[in-house]
Amino acid sequence: MSPNLQEGARLVEGKPSSTSFSIESILGLDQKKDDAPSMKPHRPWADTCSSLGKDANLRLHVPSFPNGISFPHPGDHPMPEERAMKYENYFSASERASLKRELNWYRGRRPRTAFTQNQVEVLENVFRVNCYPGIDIREDLARKLNLEEDRIQIWFQNRRAKLKRSHRESQFLTAKKNFNTNLLEQIEN
Amino acid sequence: MSPNLQEGARLVEGKPSSTSFSIESILGLDQKKDDAPSMKPHRPWADTCSSLGKDANLRLHVPSFPNGISFPHPGDHPMPEERAMKYENYFSASERASLKRELNWYRGRRPRTAFTQNQVEVLENVFRVNCYPGIDIREDLARKLNLEEDRIQIWFQNRRAKLKRSHRESQFLTAKKNFNTNLLEQIEN
DNA sequence: TTTTAATGTAATTCG
DNA sequence: CGAATTACATTAAT
């Protein structure tokens, strides 16, 4: 019997009591506690080497308009009337790109990769033959297409999901059609 | 044999492949072959008395292709004519393995469990104290959280993997930062 | 709005 | 058990 779980039960009920589990249950299982998981989301694309003055606070800066108007957060609702203020009008392409990177940083998401048509075609061709390319193939593709291996792997994952989805859908449609057909026959008889 | 990437590349570019992937590579011959005799994976959640959908997914072995999934995707560009033969002749062991895997998923992958926030909270709290809970603790948790013990075990496994991953990453970042710092010092001297 | 790259994590497999 | 990989549900960029 582990009486220690009662602590857990308490936590369930919203009691943030100090987690004191009975020693017995932890006995012999004393682990090196990394109490601050620190959960680094792993964002290698936010390269720390890019600038020598690689200050962390650099990315916490909230972009704003030159005139002090705060930058429209993409998640927010569009501002109907202020169309004339669209930030595109204020920044060059490269400036927008860097702003975007900053946004991506504090939102913690890798900038969306835009595959070229050629890259997609090659990937599709490989997919047709083998939709589970091993690491060797992926690395090979990465070199040949000038992409990171991770992009390749993700691409295949998403591609498989897409295939499955389409399969599901067609199956559903078939089932529906059959259902309707049967129904019709019954009515006719 | 099956078309390889050279053909694929040619199809894409219309030029004599500068990209050449070896057949072995494409077919993933380097991958682990699991042509092992079919053993039953025991899937209690694949309830025999579930509804219509069950049989549909269970044995859709279409002669030409498992599950009716066509690899030259129906909506996609057709492959060269030679495709009309028995598929056994066209797919390597590893490809068949892939297909088999896919088949397996369709007929029996446990539905993804969505833990509630409370469940996760309790699990995290226990994890903080002991990330290798023995069977008794797991059973206890299972009862308290109304989950199967297996889910608990898997959760801890995945949680440990996650912790390890985060350690690796923070280590990497630290190393990188040190590297940059050293570089900077050298430049300054 | 639709498609799809990216994320987080539960589930599976193998050694 | 860990490591690697996968499916799958979501989020969000285009």
Judged by CB atoms closer than 8 Å, whether chains meet at B166 and A129 is answered as no
Note whether B85 and B65 are within 8 A (CB).
no
Instruction: Compute the average pLDDT of residues B153-164.
Output: 97
Residue A11: pLDDT above 70?
no
HSE-CB at A86 with a 13 A cutoff on CA atoms is: 8
User: Closest Cα partner for A143 from B5, B93, B73, B169?
Assistant: B5
In the DSSP assignment, the letter for residue A81 is G
- pLDDT value for B182: 78
* Closest nt by CA–C1' to A151: C5
- The pLDDT assigned to B2 comes to 37
Answer whether residue A2 shows pLDDT above 60: no
Average pLDDT over residues A127-151: 94
The pLDDT tens digits of the residues spanning B15-42 come to: 333 344 554 454 444 444 434 444 556 6
Q: Closest nucleotide to A75's CA, by C1' atom?
A: D12
Is the pLDDT reported for residue B110 higher than 60?
Answer: yes
Q: Report the predicted TM-score, pTM, of the whole model to 2 decimal places.
A: 0.62
Domains of chain A (ranges; CATH) run 117-186 (1.10.10.60)
- Inter-chain touch A125–B76, beta carbons under 8 Å: no
User: What confidence tens digit (pLDDT) does each residue in A58-105 have?
Assistant: 333 333 333 333 333 333 333 333 333 444 444 566 666 666 666 666
Cα–Cα distance between A133 and A146 in angstroms, integer?
A: 17
Q: How many residues would you count in chain B?
A: 189
Q: In this predicted structure, what is the pLDDT of residue B3?
A: 35
Interface of B with A in 104-133 (CB under 8 A): 118, 121-122, 125-126, 128-133
CA gap A46, B40 in Å, rounded: 46
Between B83 and B164, the higher pLDDT residue: B164
Q: For residues B62 and B79, what is the distance between their CA atoms, to the nearest angstrom?
A: 20
What confidence score (pLDDT) does residue A141 get? 95
- Looking at residue A72, its amino acid is P
Strand partners, A64: A70
Residue of B nearest to A33 (CA): B128
Q: Is residue B10 predicted with pLDDT exceeding 80?
A: no
Q: Where are the alpha helices (DSSP H) in chain A?
A: 5-12, 23-26, 93-107, 117-129, 135-145, 149-188
Q: Would you call A35 an interface residue with chain B, using a CB distance cutoff of 8 Å?
A: yes
B188 pLDDT band, cuts 50/70/90, is low
Chain A residues with CB under 8 Å of B5 CB are 122, 125-126, 129
Residue A11: name the closest of B149, B156, B116 by CA: B116
Q: What is the DSSP letter of A133?
A: -
